[in-house]
Amino acid sequence: MEKNIIKRVFTDLLESYGLQGWWPVYSLRCTEGRDSRGYYNQVLTYYSYSEELSPLSRFEIAIGSVLTQNTAWTNVERALENLESAGLLDPDAVIDVPISILSEALRPSGYYNQKAKKLKILAAFLLEGNYLKMGNAPERKDLLNLWGVGKETADSILLYAYDVPVFVVDAYTKRIFTRLKILTGSEEYDEIAEIFINGLGKDSALFKEYHALIVKHAKEYCRKNPVCGSCVLKELCSFYDIIE
DNA sequence: TCCCAGGGGCCGA
DNA sequence: TCGGCCCATGGG
C-alpha cells in the first residue's frame, strides 16, 4: 500500500482531468455565447479561488447545494436560470415570494415542493444570522439543524461558500474509495471525512478540488456500471480485476 | 422502458 | 440504530 494513497489518488485524478475550479457559480457566468435556444453555450463561469465571493454568489452556492441533492446538475442549472429570470437569486426575494411561485421555478430540478420549502428555510437562516458576509460562516451544527440540510449539504456550503476546510463526502466518494478498498463501505460520513482530512491536512483549496475531481471521475469512469478499461486509477483498483 | 442523478426526512421494527 | 420508502424531473 502506498504511503499516502489518499494523496496519490488526488494526484492521479488531477493529472488526468485538470483543475475543476468548483463551485460553478451561475450568476458569474459569461454574458456572451447564448445559443439559438437561448441557453448559454458555456453556462457557468467557475470562480477562481483568489476571487472574493460576493454575498449573492455565496447565497447561490448555498441554494445550489440544496438543489443538487440527488439531482443531475444540468437540471439544477435550469432551476437556477428560472430563479434568475424571476429575480429570485436573492435571499430576500426567496423569503418574500409565494411558495407556489418558487416551487414552480424549481420544477426542473425535481423534488420541487420539498426544495422550495428548504430554500425558504435556508434563506431565512442565512439572512437572519448575517451569514452572507464573508468571514461570518455559520456553525456546522446550526446548518444541520435546518430542515433539508444534511451533512453533505452543510459541508458543501461551508467548504465552497465559506472556505471552511471540511471534506465533502458523497455517494461518489463512497463508491470510488470502496472499490479502491480504501473504504470497506460500512464507514459513516464523519469517519470518511476524517480519513481524507488526516491524509491531506486541513487545506480547503485542496478539498474543493478533490471533491470536484471525485465527481468528475465517478461520472466518467467509476459509474454504477464502471468503465474500467481506460480508468486512470485501474492500477490502484482491485475492482478492475473483478470486471476484467 | 428503465436506470440514474453531487440527499434528506420520516417511519416502523 | 437501521433499512425502506417518499420526494420528481430530464437525459441516456
pTM value is 0.91
In this predicted model, what pLDDT tens digit does every residue of A207-240 receive, in sequence order? 999 999 999 999 999 999 999 999 999 999 977 6
Helix (H, G, I), strand (E, B) or coil at A162: helix
Q: What pLDDT digit, counting tens, does each position of A69-104 carry?
A: 999 999 999 999 999 999 999 999 999 999 999 999
Interatomic separation, CA of residue A15 and C1' of nucleotide C3, rounded (Å): 39
Helix axes A99-106, A112-128, angle to 10 degrees: 120
Bases on strand B under 7 Å from any protein CB: 3-10
> Which pLDDT value is given to residue A31?
41
Confidence of residue A1 (pLDDT cuts 50, 70, 90): low
Q: Give residue numbers, 194 to 233 of A, with CB < 7 Å from strand C.
A: none
* Residue A77 CA, nucleotide B10 C1', distance (Å): 29
pLDDT tens column, A141-183: 999 999 999 999 999 999 999 999 999 999 999 999 999 999 9
- Cell (9 digits) for A148: 433539508
State which nucleotides on strand C lie below 7 Å from a protein beta carbon: 7-11
Residue A46, classed as helix, strand or coil, is strand
Work out the percent of chain A whose per-residue pLDDT is above 90.
80
Burial class (CB in 10 A: 0-12, 13-18, 19+), A23: buried
Output the pLDDT for position A97.
98
